Chains A and B, each alone.
Chain A
């Protein structure tokens, strides 16, 4: 009798653990990172990382920052236009990722700036970075170094 009870308790406990694990996994996977790529850069120069963040969940999330081991500093930036023919770049602050929506980081818009890369990033190299989201937490991003994304996306 005692033995059976123990088995039942163990089973319930294990089941709960699995459910918990699945829950945290499904919450994480509400945020999907796709179409990643990064710019080439020589050591100590700057690169930029691009991707599409998809929020599949029903709740707003917020990109609060980024980290990487491949650059001295990693910052979320935004390029902007001024007076029709001028362009500039500035820190972007926090970015809200609305539920059931996509947010694109692309040239001329938002990018994760990799400042002072610690080694040459050549075309074809693979890099990793981490995005920090308010609810989804840390999300690992893998990207290939390319000179341009697909031309269709550029137009």
Chain B
């Protein structure tokens, strides 16, 4: 009996060691957002029961941000090849004033992104700010460009992040979006 108990504890301990720790939890929180098709989305409710791979973007960033989005695509393709489903991809804009649903949809379309399990989200700045604050992503405006037309766009200094969220809405691991190891996150997803 005692031996069996010890074995149980050892197995439990080994199991825990293998599993990803919980970084943070969206439990009981919900945010009203809008997707690229201008539909209202409640986050994270709409992905409940699914593993979520999430990144944080502003579409005026054409240099390093697309590395993160392209890595999302590579993860999506690898999971598809390995027949791992039940994973939803989410890209949340922290620049909703510029990133309207239409801008996000065009951003995805021109890159031929597969939106069958990938949602782009925008919303009130108050709400997007609350989410990035919750998950520990920072985004502050720095330089800007003013066009001859008077239109002004801002550049952000922001956290370079892809985040893994489990089916219960718990944040399990953070990665650097532009340099993430695709094999690593796919292995982590399989562990969840």
Contact = CB atoms under 8 A, between A and B. Distances in A.
Interface residues of B, number: 34
A37 to B, nearest CB: 12
Contacts, number: 96
Contacts of B103: 42, 45
B142 A75 contact: no
A154 to B, nearest CB: 8
Interface residues of A, number: 36
A45 B63 CA distance: 12
Nearest to A151: B74
B178 interface: yes
Nearest to A109: B63
Contacts of B62: 39, 41, 45-48, 111, 113-114
B67 A86 contact: no
A41 B158 CA distance: 21
B159 interface: yes
Contacts of B22: none
A40 B67 contact: no
Contact of A86 (B59, B61, B107, B158): B158
A72 B148 contact: yes
Nearest to A91: B143
B64 A115 contact: no
B156 to A, nearest CB: 7
A148 B70 contact: yes
Interface in B124-141: 138
Contact of A46 (B60, B138, B158): B60
A108 B147 contact: no
Given A85-B159, A87-B157, A88-B156, A45 B60 contact: yes
A5 to B, nearest CB: 59
20 contacts: A39-B63, A40-B110, A40-B111, A41-B62, A42-B109, A45-B107, A46-B61, A47-B62, A48-B63, A72-B147, A75-B145, A79-B64, A86-B157, A87-B64, A88-B158, A89-B63, A108-B63, A108-B67, A148-B70, A154-B67
